Amino acid sequence: MALVSIKDMLNKARKEKYCVGAFDASTLEMAQKIIEAAEEKKSPVIIMGLTPDLQGDMLDYWITCLRRMAERASVPVCLHLDHATDMAFLKKCVDFGFTSVMYDASVYPLEENIRLTKEAVEYAHAHGVTVEAELGHVGDGIVSGELKADEDYDNPDDYLTNPDEMKQFIDETGVDCLAVAVGTSHGVYVHTPKLHFDRLDELNRISSIPMVMHGGSGTPDDQIKEAIQRGICKLNIYSEMLSAYYGELKKKLEESGTLAIWVSKANEKSLAALKQVVLEKIDLVGSANKA
C-alpha cells in the first residue's frame, strides 16, 4: 500500500472518533514488528524516527528500508520524524523522503514558536510533507534516559496548552496537527499522570486540526480512552515498547549463561513482547479494522 500523509490519516480518525498509534522504531526489526501488528489488526499506523537514531548514514539507511517496508505493507503507513529541534536536520529528513515531520519549538515563547514552526511548514509543504508542532510543553518524567525520579523536573501542569493561543498558532503556522500539553509526560512516569479533560475539551472546541498526545506510555488506559473521546487523534508510544523489549532480553541473557548468544535468538522473545505492546495499543486507541 502506498505511503500516506499524517493529515489524511488523522482527519479520518478525527471524523470517526478514534486514534492512531504512533510508535518509535529505533531498529528495522522494531519497525517490522510494528507493521506486522498493524497488519494483523488491519489498522493504519504511524512509524516514527528519532533524531539520535538517524545520524550520519543511518538516516539514508533507515528511510530507504522503512519506505520499502511501508510500501509493501497491506495497511496505510505514515513515516514520521519525531521531535526535531534542528531545522536543518528536519529539512534533510524532508528531502530524504519522510511523509511527515514534527518540529518542536515548544520551549520558546509563542511568537518564536510560531516563526520557527511556520518556516518548517513552508519547507515541508513545498515538498508534499505534512507537519506536526507542539503548543504548550509536554514535560519529561525521566532524567537523561535513566529510571530515576528528578524532584526538580518540570511539572507538565505548569506548561499546559493555552486555549487563547491555539487559534493564532494554527492560523499563522498552517500546521497539519498539533501536540497539546494536558498533563502527560515523555518517558517513564515518576508521578502518576492526571489529565486535564476540561482543558482538552476547550482545546478541541477551538482546534480546526487533529490533536496529538505525547507521553502515551504509562498513561492509564481509562484516561487515554477519555482523551480520544475528547479529540486526541494520535498517541505517541515508545517507553512501554522498550520496557517490554528489554525485560525479555534481560531474562534471555540471564537464562543463557553466556553473552555469546546469537542476536536472532536473544531478540526472539524481546521482539514478540514489543509487538504485543503495539497490538494492545492498537486495540486501546480504537484503530483496529480502520485500514
Active site residues: 82
Cβ atoms 191, 158 nearer than 8 A: no
- b/e map 13-52, b = 16+ CB within 10 Å: bbeeebbbbbbbbbeebbbbbbbebbbebebbbbbbbebe
Q: Which of 76, 67, 175 is nearest to 130 (CA)?
A: 175
* Among 226, 124, 176, 204, CA closest to 11: 176
Q: Residue 144 has what DSSP assignment?
A: T
Q: Which three cell numbers stand for residue 269?
A: 522473545
CA end-to-end span of the chain: 10
